[in-house]
Amino acid sequence: MNPPSVSFGPVRWAVFVAVAGTVLAVWLYTNQTLRSVEGALPTILLAQIEDLSRITDSLGGLVADAAMTRLAPSPAAVARLAEGIDRAYADLVALRDTYVFDNLVQASVFHATVAPALVDAGQWLTHGVSGHAPDSALTLTVVHSRLRDTLVKASAERYASHDMARAILQDQRARLERFIRGVNMLLLVTVLVALLTLALMLRQQKLLRREAKVRKERESLIAILESTSDLVSTATPDERLTYLNGAGRRMLGWDADEPLADKRIPDLHPAWTLRVIRDEGLPAAAAQGSWEGETALLRRDGREIPVSQVILAHNAAAGEPEFFSAIMRDITERKRADEALKAAHADLERQVAERTRDLEAKAAELESANRELVALDTLKSSLVSTVSHELRTPLTSMLGFSKLVRRDFLRHYRPLEDGDRQLAEKGERIEANLNIIAEETDRLARLISDMLDLARIESGRMDWADRPTDVAECVRAALGSMRGVFSEDSPVSLDHHIEPGLPTVMADPDRITQVVVNLLANAHKFTPKGQISVRVWAEGRGRDQAVCLSVEDTGCGIPGDDRERIFEKFYQADACGLTDRPPGTGLGLTICGQIVEHYGGRIDVESMPGRGSRFVVRFPAMEGSA
């Protein structure tokens, strides 16, 4: 708020506003009244002229109707003409009762010209003329002639009235304009005087407000400086203090009312800080406008306070510093925090060094363990290969010799059984044992082959003969190899559907065929009777395109606990309690998983006990293949 000395008195403002409002109101009211009179004059006058024009236009229409009726007389046309004459007469009577300016247009004059003609025409159309019928040619000719003559006279009266009204209107308007200009000039002079008075009053008030604003800003600045927690001071170029806020006095330990007349910049700082201010601070501020650095204050009790100081130079018009101002903030706590941070940093570096040494030792141990694992893996692979090789030769011999023994038995021993029941039963037992030896030998050979394949895959020594491969051909090859398992008399049927136009995959065809064979063997193991379906299709597009292979059976399903472990090595799930199914090696699904993972695919398993299982394999397709 401005101080009371700055504003005008309320009575003075009220008188000025009242006078200005009165002048403005009189001006507006006078102009509005005169303009209303000027605007109403032509409106009233011309409205009467328009009434005469409307009657004249109606009379012209009657003349045209009378001409048309005369050319094509009929009772209906005569009746319409009579009705039109009656309407025109009624309008004329209504005009006679309205006020028209004296000496301009007299309704009686116009009425005396038009009314008798309308009355006569109406009488003739009703009773006829001199014994002639109303619709006779003579009557219609007389009516048309009378109406036409009347139209000519009425038009002349209307034009005369219009000219007379225009002359009167122009004269009255000229008088009003001269009067309005005189009033406006008088009011304009009054307004100019009032505006000049107002301008003088506002100028005086503006000067007073500016002075009050400067004083208020100074007081506000001082209040801000006094409320801050930083030291704020000003000094002359000869280092004499001119201002020091309350926070600075408290930081220095001075009294609140201690005079500054004999205080100088050296009284604020210790000797080493004073050298920095004189050699760096003040010259840099004078040259660049400001300087910032870390200094210290010297309290009255001799204690030093570390501060962050900013020195500003305030130049005069000539460019030389008129005075300097300084802002200093106590950074004692920050210094303590920095020291604590440095100590924590040193401790952290020590801990990091210790942890690094421990990690290096652990890394050395891990590296040694890794070398041992690599050696074990190599040994395992070598052992598997060696054992497989050492076992495969005698197994092949055992399988061959067992088949030779069975063949010789059937050739030489069977003929001796005829007629000897006891000998026949003994021969059957020998044949069954020979079959078991052959089956177990074959199973052991398959186990060795699976172990060898798994060891090669895990050790990375599998020979992958990858090339663009058609999965459909691999499926057909697998179905052909399983033809003996799914014979015509088998309780399990096998069907397949291969979508045409499949994209190719980059893989080893033998490995893809091996995956299909293992999945079919697993499905047959869990399906005592029913159906096994093989489906091949493509899904996705572009980089996400894949060739999908599903093997679905209607068998007993895989229990939930077994479903989580079917891809583990040597794990065999219970095949629904079936005893006629040959036991597996426990490596078929494991090898399937390893092959599919090698080619970047995946296997999804869906199974429900009692309702069968479904294995879906997805192989990434080659880009651009079809």
Question: What pLDDT, on the 0 to 100 scale, is given for residue 100?
Answer: 44
More confident residue, 295 or 582: 295
pLDDT averaged over the chain? 76
Whether 286 has a pLDDT exceeding 70, the answer reads yes
The predicted model gives 411-423 an average pLDDT of 58
Amino acid code (one letter) for 438 = A
- d(C-alpha 321, C-alpha 496), whole Å: 100
- d(C-alpha 253, C-alpha 449), whole Å: 96
In 3D, which of 525, 542, 546 has the Cα closest to residue 620?
A: 546
CB 620 within 8 A of CB 601: yes
The predicted model gives 476-482 an average pLDDT of 85
Whether 516 has a pLDDT exceeding 70, the answer reads yes
In 3D, which of 213, 251, 214 has the Cα closest to residue 232?
A: 251
Whether 183 has a pLDDT exceeding 90, the answer reads no
Domains delineated in the chain: 10-203 (1.20.120), 228-330 (3.30.450.20), 343-462 (1.10.287), 463-620 (3.30.565.10)
Min mean pLDDT across 161-170, 304-313, 531-540 is at: 161-170
More confident residue, 393 or 315: 315
The predicted model gives 114-140 an average pLDDT of 79
Beta-sheet pairing, 530-539 with 492-498: parallel
Quick one: what percent of the chain has pLDDT higher than 70? Answer: 68
The predicted model gives 122-150 an average pLDDT of 79
Question: What pLDDT, on the 0 to 100 scale, is given for residue 115?
Answer: 77
Kindly report whether the global pTM for this prediction surpasses the value 0.75: no
Min mean pLDDT across 406-410, 531-535, 576-580, 584-588 is at: 576-580
pLDDT band at 257 (very low <50, low <70, confident <90, very high): confident
In 3D, which of 533, 535, 621, 610 has the Cα closest to residue 577?
A: 610
pLDDT band at 291 (very low <50, low <70, confident <90, very high): very high
- d(C-alpha 507, C-alpha 471), whole Å: 9
Question: What pLDDT, on the 0 to 100 scale, is given for residue 12?
Answer: 62
Whether 228 has a pLDDT exceeding 50, the answer reads yes
- Residues near 427 by Cβ (< 8 Å), separated by ≥ 6? 409, 413, 414, 417
Question: What pLDDT, on the 0 to 100 scale, is given for residue 103?
Answer: 37
Question: What pLDDT, on the 0 to 100 scale, is given for residue 535?
Answer: 93
The DSSP secondary-structure symbol of 184 reads H
- Report pLDDT digits (tens) over 92-107: 777 665 544 333 444 5
- Report pLDDT digits (tens) over 540-568: 887 888 899 989 888 887 766 666 667 66
Q: Where are the alpha helices (DSSP H) in 409-485?
A: 421-459, 471-481
Question: What pLDDT, on the 0 to 100 scale, is given for residue 139?
Answer: 78
